[in-house]
Amino acid sequence: MVVGEQAVQVAAAYAAIHGHCALGCCGGYLHGLFGNDQYRASLIRSLGGKSSGESHLAKVEQALDELAGDMERYLDVDGLLGLAGV
């Protein structure tokens, strides 16, 4: 696994090969690319920014927990599962 500055270089190379450009705007997508806290902080630093230092995984888990809580609160989950035959 590559991390830090090396990961930034690998991601840039991948985007150059597999990304696409339209009207002067280039982009690419790698699933989970920003899930690595060390990589994300390094990328942000390389762009002149400062990372918050927050854990991406922890924020995702918190958002999923909140979503699950709202679903249980506002939806008839048992009824939906029954309709689905689960």
pLDDT 10s digits, 26-82: 555 667 777 889 888 988 899 899 989 899 889 999 999 999 999 999 999 889 989
Backbone phi, psi, residue 46, to 5°: -65, -20
pTM over 0.75: no
Backbone phi, psi, residue 77, to 5°: -60, -45
**What is the band of 12 on the pLDDT scale with cuts at 50, 70, 90?**
low
Q: State the Cα–Cα distance between residues 85 and 49, nearest whole angstrom.
A: 50
> Among 65, 77, 3, which Cα is nearest to 39's?
3
As beta bridge partners, residue 22 has 25
> Among 45, 33, 26, 43, which Cα is nearest to 1's?
33
